[in-house]
Amino acid sequence: MIKKLVNKILASEFNRNVLTLISGTVIAQSLPLLLMPVLTRLFSPEQMGLLAFFMSVTIILGNTVNGKLELAIVLPHKDSDAYNLFVLGSLLAAVSSIVIFFLALFFSQPFVKLFNVEPLKNWLLLLPLSVMGLATFNLLNYYFTRFKDYKLISLSKVSRSASTILFQIFAGIIKFFGGLIIGYVLGHLLSLLPFSWKLAKNPRLRYKVNRLKLIALLKRYKKFPTFYVPATLANRLAYDLINMIIPMLFTRADLGLFSLAMRYMAVPSYFIGLSFSQIFSQVGSEEKRKTGGIKKSFYSILKRLLIIALPIYLTFFLFSVPAFRIVFGQKWVLSGVYAQIISIFMLVRFVVAPLMNSLYILEKQEFIFISNIILLVLALSSFILGHALHLSFKHTLIIYSAIMTFSYSIVFMIIWIIVKKHGGTN
């Protein structure tokens, strides 16, 4: 009976693609997750907080400097257009990274002082490399998603996580704080090697780059940099700007404890949610080309996400406090408390985040922008409110979790209405 069930699952191309991406993501994330208890014993919450700050700045910039054109790569009918979109996104990222370098060179001192992260001053010069690496990875990730080369994507993810965590552990052993930052940047750069090797080996994946074509594609997909970049920026700021303002309003140690909780509560999204999101981009785009709508793909993804999310986050809610104490040590027990507080919010986000791809598939990026601006304002307001009321970080986090749970529920309703309205012929 089990064999029949396995065969039934593997008979679906969608399920096979999901399993391939999930397996690669599981391997990629398992190494840092399994070895994180080593890092928590080599570095303090404050040092881990500084790493979280650097990572947040990288993620905010790295996910926007390419104009979000990676999301457009799966849409054109011609593969040559997709390749030119990849090149266009890379050019935007390169120019932006050069600008970031000069900003870091001349304005690092007031920046680190403003956010109370002075030990990062000299390490900000690595930020452009980190941003460029992440932006290029995103472009190549979606380029090879178009060709359903999920094994290659998985290999790239594994190389990134393995190189990062192993270098960071080595740095901890020799008591070199900068190794946390260097390891993170190195991981982004090494993740590009499998993609580069495949492009070099297979000329059919490379097409002629035409300047007029680049201009035409930028005009055709102008909604992505115009609407989706601000929307993504708002979305990333809703999470990563929090990591930047926590040292300002509370302490760097609070950030370290909170970032560890968030890292583990986001594990299901890393393992499963991102894979669903990526494949939804591909199958949803195909369905839209055939039927004009994406209802079938939407409800299929929604059902699977709910089945997976409910038991996972219920377990987090019940057992995170004792689990964090045992695994990471007594000085990290507050991370378990924070994980319990945000568990319901993370459940809702796990389900809703992949479904937001519906809006860009239907080219309704303006709704993403509006919803993410609202999420950003509410997220920041909750922390500012807690600080203004002189609440502890724990009680501020309760306010944040409640507000974000409600907000994401509203976003889901908006997505559902739009998908239903643009149902297509299916």
Report DSSP letters for 100-160, one per residue: HHHHHHHHHHHHHHHTT-GGGGGGGGGHHHHHHHHHHHHHHHHHHHHTT-HHHHHHHHHHH
How far apart, in Å, are the Cα atoms of 4 and each of 1, 224, 307, 308? 5, 43, 21, 21
Q: Which residues in the chain land under pLDDT 70? A: 1-18, 20-22, 24-25, 235, 270-271, 365, 423-426
Q: What are phi and psi of 247, to 5 degrees?
A: -65, -30
Which residues have a Cβ under 8 Å from the Cβ of 38 and sit 6 or more positions away?
A: 169, 172
Sign, Cα dihedral of 370, 270, 179, 162: negative
pTM of the full predicted structure?
Answer: 0.78
* Rounded Cα gap, residues 228 and 68, in angstroms: 7
Tokens, residue 86: 């990849």
**Can you give the pLDDT at residue 13?**
61
* Rounded Cα gap, residues 55 and 251, in angstroms: 17
**Can you give the pLDDT at residue 5?**
46
How far apart, in Å, are the Cα atoms of 261 and each of 57, 238, 243, 305, 337? 19, 17, 12, 22, 8
* Residue written as token pair 């409640």: 402
Asked if residues 59 and 134 have their Cβ atoms less than 8 Å apart, the reply is yes
pLDDT, tens digit (0-9, with 9 covering 90-100), for 117-149 = 999 998 999 999 999 999 999 999 999 888 888
SS3 category, 392: coil
Helix, strand, coil percentages (3-state) for the chain, rounded to 5, are 85, 0, 15
Q: Which ranges of 174-271 would DSSP assign to H, the alpha helix?
A: 178-190, 193-201, 211-220, 223, 229-236, 242-249, 252-265, 267-268
* Rounded Cα gap, residues 88 and 257, in angstroms: 39
DSSP class of 251:
-
